[in-house]
Amino acid sequence: MTISFAGQVAIVTGAGNGLGRSHALELAKRGAKVVVNDLGGARDGSGASSAASKEVVELIQAMGGEAISHGANVANFDEVQDMVQQTMDKWGRVDILINNAGILRDKSFSKMTLDDFKLVMDVHVMGSVNCTKAVWEIMKQQNYGRIVMTTSSSGMYGNFGQSNYGAAKMAVIGLMNTLVLEGAKNNIHINALAPTAGTRMTEDLMPEEIVKAFAPEAVTAGMLTLCDEAAPNRFILCAGAGGYSSASIFETDGCFIPTAKQSPEAVRENWPKLTAQDNQQALVSGAQQGEKFIMKAMAFMKSQ
Ligand code: NAD
């Protein structure tokens, strides 16, 4: 079945370049009215310009679609609120939020200043928090919302020189995990995208032919499955160069050590059991972990 966004309103942050641009264009092609947000700064977050976002709006309008641009810095809640207010004034709803805006300030942790750490956290984490907060009550009242967080393999698995970026990208998964619980009764689905694409963010990290193979459009094809009516919830989709996979956090079933025997030595002795992957589970709330441990303690007490 064709995936359509006709009649829906989407906000795409950082949509002047790279992945956000591709997301915005494809959402518009498939019928969405799109807010093309972009601060328009350099890759490290310095500067600002409205040229790129305006160009994307013109492209959408040229193909008969509807779009507006907004230069909100996602790290600034007042500017984000203004963007959402303008969206509501013009179109009266927000169905989709794609938290995509991002910057890089790579350096080994020894050389990284705390300012570089904080700025990256501000844009990726607080940017996603601010935009989500600004649309949350609207989506609740509509009883409909689709939100995509942009994470990264750097957050899930680590990458040399990206302690700030990796921490931020894992934080948005934490944000998703709790928001899926809070948004469920209002049909708000939140998913995460872990892209690899040849954009200005990665162009000097990959050879030219590889950059071409990692076209943003390939990622967008996957991203759109995370924000339509049939979207999953709490899914982490990895996408790049036509490859698509999913990532999850699993927890092993683990072991139980009774009070009288609890010691670091006993925990180490039980390592094979504690790490055994049979019966591992992808837990869906923090409370589930507590329940699992209590069940083990109760089973032990019953056996005495
Ligand atoms: P890009 O640099 O081409 O685009 C990012 C856009 O975000 C730019 O247009 C920039 O102006 C905008 N932006 C930056 N700070 C902003 C702010 N404070 N407010 C509003 N807009 C802002 O990068 P990209 O590769 O398209 O990255 C898009 C997203 O995907 C980012 O979150 C990035 O971390 C993530 N990502 C990209 C890759 C990749 O391989 N390209 C891999 C993993 C994750």
pLDDT in tens, 209-235: 899 999 999 999 999 999 999 999 999
237-254 per-position pLDDT tens digit: 999 999 999 999 999 999
Distance from residue 145's CA to the centre of ligand 1 (Å): 22
Angle between helices 51-62 and 18-29 (to 10 degrees): 20
Tell me whether strands 188-195 and 236-240 are parallel, antiparallel or unpaired.
parallel
At 102-134, the pLDDT tens digits run 999 999 999 999 999 999 999 999 999 999 999
Mutate to test the pocket of ligand 1, among 12, 19, 43 (most ligand atoms within 8 A of CB): 19
Q: How far is the CA of 217 from the centre of ligand 1 (A)?
A: 15
User: Ligand 1: distance of its center to the CA of 272 in Å?
Assistant: 41
Residue 138 has pLDDT above 90, yes or no: yes
The mean predicted confidence, pLDDT, of the chain is: 97
Buried-exposed string 228-255: b where 16+ CB fall within 10 A, e elsewhere: beebebbbbbbbbeeeeeeeeeeeeebb
Average pLDDT over residues 18-28: 98
57-96 pLDDT tens trace:
999 999 999 999 999 999 999 999 999 999 999 999 999 9
Active-site pick, 144, 157, 165, 244? 165
**Which contiguous run of DSSP H or E holds residue 246?**
strand 243-247
- Say what the pLDDT of residue 218 is: 98
Whether 165 is catalytic: yes
Mean pLDDT of the 180-190 span: 98
The whole-number pLDDT of residue 251 equals: 98
Of 72, 50, 56, 70, whose CA–CA distance to 19 is shortest?
56
Distance between Cα 6 and ligand 1 center (Å): 26
Q: Whose CA is nearest to atom 17 of ligand 1?
A: 73
Nearest CA among 143, 236, 133 for reference residue 184:
143
Q: Report ipTM for this prediction.
A: 0.99
Cβ contact 110:151 at 8 Å = no
- Report percent pLDDT > 90 for the chain: 96
Pocket lined around ligand 1, Cβ cut-off 6 Å:
13-14, 16-20, 37-41, 43, 45, 52, 73-75, 100-103, 123, 127, 150, 152, 195-197, 199-202
Summarised one tens digit per residue, pLDDT across range 150-172 is 999 999 999 999 999 999 999 99
Distance of CA 215 to CAs 19, 102, 131, 203, 218, Å?
A: 9, 18, 26, 11, 6
User: What atom in ligand 1 is closest to the CA of residue 150?
Assistant: 32
The predicted pLDDT at position 107 comes to: 98
Strand-strand pairing, 243-247 and 236-240: antiparallel
Q: Which pLDDT value is given to residue 256?
A: 98
Quickly state the pLDDT bin for 17 (edges 50, 70, 90).
Answer: very high
DSSP labels for 171-234? Answer: HHHHHHHHHHHHHGGGTEEEEEEEE---STTTTTTS-HHHHHHS-HHHHHHHHGGGSSTT--SS
Query: Does residue 1 have a pLDDT over 90?
Result: no
In degrees and rounded to multiples of 5, residue 149 shows phi and psi of -95, 140
Q: Residue 206 pLDDT more than 90?
A: no
Which single residue is written with the structure tokens 């956290």? 121
Cβ proximity of 142 and 93 under 8 Å: yes
pLDDT value of residue 205: 82
Give me the pLDDT at residue 44, please.
95
List C-alpha distances in Å: 234 to 38, 219, 248: 26, 18, 10
